[in-house]
């Protein structure tokens, strides 16, 4: 469920902006969220 939610977030960002910097920042943010969810 979380995975699908992250994918939908990614798609929204990719559609809104195709800037590489923003996508890289988003990937970093998602990685941090995934680590936190796994840690808990």
Average pLDDT per consecutive 10 residues, the chain (40 residues; last block may be shorter): 74 67 81 83
What per-residue confidence (pLDDT) applies to 40? Answer: 63
d(C-alpha 39, C-alpha 30), whole Å: 14
pTM across the whole model: 0.41
Q: What is the pLDDT of residue 26?
A: 81
Question: In the prediction, which pLDDT does 9 show?
Answer: 76
Q: Where are the domains of the chain?
A: 2-39
Q: How many residues does the chain have?
A: 40
Task: With beta carbons less than 8 A apart as the criterion, state whether 26 and 2 touch.
Answer: no
């Amino acid at each position: 469920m979380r995975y699908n939610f992250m994918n939908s977030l990614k798609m929204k960002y990719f559609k809104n902006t195709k800037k590489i910097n923003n996508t890289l920042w988003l990937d970093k943010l998602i990685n941090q969220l995934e680590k936190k969810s796994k840690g808990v």
